[in-house]
Amino acid sequence: MSLSSRSALALVLVMVAAGACATTAVAENRASPATATGPAAGDATLAARLDTREVRYERDPDGDYRVVFAWQQEGRSQVAFVSGRAHVFGDSAVREVFSPAARVPAGGFGAERSDMLLRDSQSNVLGAWEVAGDVLFYVIKLHDDADGARLEQALEAAAQLADDMELRLTGEDRL
């Protein structure tokens, strides 16, 4: 299902306590090679920006903001994160919004799947597929001063795209 048609569905945010440990381990794979800062200038307001949009989240041990999306009509769910740390980029900071899509097989993806992921990245307006550790993530990088509405849109987009790719690659709903 496409991002635009999924956006039209009633989207319900839920916290899934049973999945917290597994998704926290997945999020820990999301270490970026970029230089992460401690709390960035906008970090003190990140929770407030999410709260203004009534985004339900929990903080994981790394300080990331974990959000679980559930699409009741499809019987599927997907976790997405806002990084608790920003990355310095020149004189500003960038914050990542990311969602795991699938485990990467030993030896990596083959040429055909890699090509498909690159082409899919090109077709999306914002964000791209990245591999960190043994997990494929959809990652959106925003200026750290993004407001709550932009963060919420990025969370929804990352979750929807990752869930669609998870279904395409695995046929399952694990992450």
CB atoms within 10 A of CB 152: 21
Distance CA 99, CA 91 (A): 27
Q: Give the residue among 53, 63, 135 at the shortest CA–CA distance from 102.
A: 135
SS3 31: coil
With both helix axes pointing from N to C terminus, report the angle between 148-170 and 43-52 in degrees, rounded to the nearest 10.
80
Please say whether the beta carbons of 116 and 136 come within 8 A: no
Q: What CA–CA distance (Å, rounded) separates 131 from 118? A: 12
pLDDT of residue 138: 98
The architecture in CATH of the region 3-170 reads: 2-Layer Sandwich (3.30)
**Residue 37: pLDDT band with limits 50, 70, 90:** low
Helix, strand, coil % over all residues of the chain, rounded to 5: 35, 30, 35
Q: What residues are paired with 160 via a beta bridge?
A: none
The pLDDT assigned to 96 comes to: 97
Task: Write out pLDDT tens, residues 96-153.
Answer: 999 999 999 999 999 999 999 999 999 998 999 999 999 999 999 999 999 999 999 9
> Which sequence spans correspond to the domains of the chain?
3-170
For residue 67, the model assigns a pLDDT of 97
Out of 38-42, 49-53, 149-153, which region has the weakest mean confidence (pLDDT)? 38-42
